[in-house]
Amino acid sequence: MALVSSLSILPTLSDDLSELEIKLQDSVIAEDKYLTEIASHLITAGGKRVRPGFAIAASGIESPKAVPASNDVLMGGVAVELVHLGSLYHDDVMDEAEMRRTVPSVNAIWGNLTAILAGDFLLARASGIAASLGTEVAGLLAKTIGELCEGQILELQSTFKLDRTQDSYERSISGKTASLLATACRIGGLTSHLSRENIDILTSFGHSYGMAFQIVDDILDLVATDEQLGKPSGNDLMEGVYTLPVISAFSSDFGAQLKEILGKKISVEERDKARELIRSSQGVSEALARAQFWTKEAASALTELPDSEATEALRAATTHLIQRASSPIV
């Protein structure tokens, strides 16, 4: 998903992200080389740096022409990326995932206990950086980490439940995904001292974008291949996490068959049969329609921002996501 490349119409973004990458790697250096290796594992594996990219773009919306991001903006981007990475370490333990970003997961190499502690270490480093950026940023990041946990708990409460609702699903992804994208945009605004009105608009944009982003990601888990995802596809079904396409499919003509398979631990063969039924139903198309709703909400927020190269970059990313939602496996 070339989301950051769609932001790259911002002339300064490439250099900013290169500088951020150095700061990101430096931020996880510990006295213990063993801990540094574990904490660096997913950083060196790559990643799109979506959240720092949005923080950087958001920071420049009041300047007609793009200017290099300040150190505070870059460190704000590092903080949100560390929170994201820490959440991935913890997610992979909960999901018993063996691969992440085409490489073995931290828990697969070093075990669950080490992965949990390393994830905590990343969150601690993020919190320290946020504190250096001021009390408002520190409080915001702490609140966001809490929202991530709340969203994940809501998801865990719904595992294997055949009566999960769209409202329950959206409350979960609002916490576990959209909150951090909203915070990335808000931190970009705070660290560049934008007007309060524009900071609030950016926050709303980031939340709507994050909602669409997660719905598209959940669709991809059902329709894309392992190679396209960089991790095993269909894993949500195996874990009993019934996302929006599945919830919609339960109400279709294929719902009864689908419910006979799901609601319990399933085999790979049962997973593949369930994916086939979901694809045959209106589940994917209805989920796409909801993703398009949220991308339009994001695009609408951008109309309230000043005309600038940074605003255009955010608009390009939104257009890309709308296209992505229309054709999720392209």
Domain 3-321 has CATH 1.10.600.10: yes
Instruction: Note the pLDDT of residue 95.
Output: 86
Tell me the CB-side half-sphere exposure of residue 206, using CA atoms within 13 A: 31
DSSP structure string for 52-65: HHHHHHHHTTTSSS
What is the pTM assigned to this prediction?
A: 0.95
- Give bridge partners of residue 100 from the DSSP assignment: 103
Instruction: Note the pLDDT of residue 330.
Output: 42
Burial class (CB in 10 A: 0-12, 13-18, 19+), 45: middle
Residue-wise pLDDT for 72-83, tens only, equals 999 999 999 999
Tell me what the mean pLDDT of segment 179-191 comes to: 98
| Nearest by Cα to 152 from 208, 91, 221 | 91
Residue-wise pLDDT for 109-157, tens only, equals 999 999 999 999 999 999 999 999 999 999 999 999 999 999 999 999 9
Which residue is associated with the tokens 């490489």?
Answer: 103
CA distance 186 to 166: 27
CA distance 300 to 64: 20
- For the chain, the average pLDDT equals 94
